[in-house]
Structure 1
């Protein structure tokens, strides 16, 4: 089984990323279950604006898209900025919009029988809003969102230290992240055994 993590931090590599650090808790739990995990930092990939799978010369999205089609599990990880997902998370969702019109050999949308979850970090509140926005969009695209397929860390209300600067709340975030990984894995296995059929015509 394979998983893809798309980290939508605004920080280019190799700058330390709070979002990457929490997403790695989930990824580590998946690896412990035998899942191969591939991680992309969206800011490094030159993902061009648009709603097509390939926007032409220099577009970094097609490589990520190929990985999505080879994975049963997707994790979108994003910081919270003024109560919303990062601009890069929105761009990733916009590019995934093209998957609505792509089908597999059985005429199913290509996101069918794949599961997805969300990781959120930020030293401000709004995590549940961000989770709802991203999970709702991924569900529209065709992903299955298991129960409790998310984890987050924040210090709200108000600004404060970052995830990497503080131990506060980490135990809860990590425990929730491990549960997230377990649920994603369990539902991915269930869908592999009993796939969702193509939509009725």
Structure 2
């Protein structure tokens, strides 16, 4: 089983990413469960804004899309900015939406029988809203949303330290991330054994 993790931080490498730090906890649990993982920092790649799967002219999305289609699990990891997902996460959702017309052998969208999960960080609240937005977008194009398939961390109301600077309630975020990994693997395994039928 394979999992693709898209880190939608606004910071290109090698800058430290709070979102990546929490995502690595989920990745470690996925690997412990036997899943092959691939972490991509979206900001490191020239992804053209648009809604088609290939926009040519140096567009990096087709390469990432190949990884997505080869994986049973997709995890969107994003910071919270102004109460919502990052612009990189929104760009990813717009490009994934370009897959909707494509159909597999059973006549279903190519994203059917794939499981989605989420990692969200932010110095202030808004994480659950972000999860709801992304889950709705991915469910709309065919992804299955497993029970409790996300973890998040925030510093509470008002400005404060970031994830990498704080020890505030990190244990909860890490424990919840491990549970999310197990739930995603369980649902992905079930779908592999009993796929959603064709039309």
Shift of the alpha carbon at 1:104? 1.3
Q: Which runs of 5+ in 1 are unaligned?
A: none
For the pair 1:88 / 2:56, whether they are aligned, the reply is: no
Q: Which runs of 5+ in 2 are unaligned?
A: none
Shift of the alpha carbon at 1:99? 1.4
**Structure 1 counterpart SS, 2:118:** strand
Shift of the alpha carbon at 1:23? 0.5
Counterparts of residues 52-63 of structure 1 (less than 5 Å): 52-63=52-63
**Structure 1 counterpart SS, 2:13:** coil
For the pair 1:195 / 2:158, whether they are aligned, the reply is: no
How many residue pairs end up in the alignment?
199
The aligned residue for residue 97 of structure 2 is: 97
Shift of the alpha carbon at 1:102? 1.2
Shift of the alpha carbon at 1:103? 1.2
TM-score (norm 2): 0.99
**Higher normalized strand content (fraction of residues):** 2
The aligned residue for residue 106 of structure 1 is: 106
Counterparts of residues 168-187 of structure 1 (less than 5 Å): 168-187=168-187
Counterparts of residues 109-120 of structure 1 (less than 5 Å): 109-120=109-120
Cα shift readout 1:119-143 (whole Å, capped 9, x = no counterpart): 0000011111001000111101100
Distance 1:80 1:64 in 2: 23
The aligned residue for residue 32 of structure 2 is: 32
Cα shift readout 1:21-44 (whole Å, capped 9, x = no counterpart): 101111110000111000111111
Counterparts of residues 11-90 of structure 1 (less than 5 Å): 11-90=11-90
Distance 1:153 1:31 in 2: 22
Distance 1:136 1:176 in 2: 21
Cα shift readout 1:71-110 (whole Å, capped 9, x = no counterpart): 0000000000010000010000000001111111222110
The aligned residue for residue 135 of structure 2 is: 135
| 4+ runs deviating over 2 angstroms | none
TM-score (norm 1): 0.98
Distance 2:197 2:152 in 1: 33
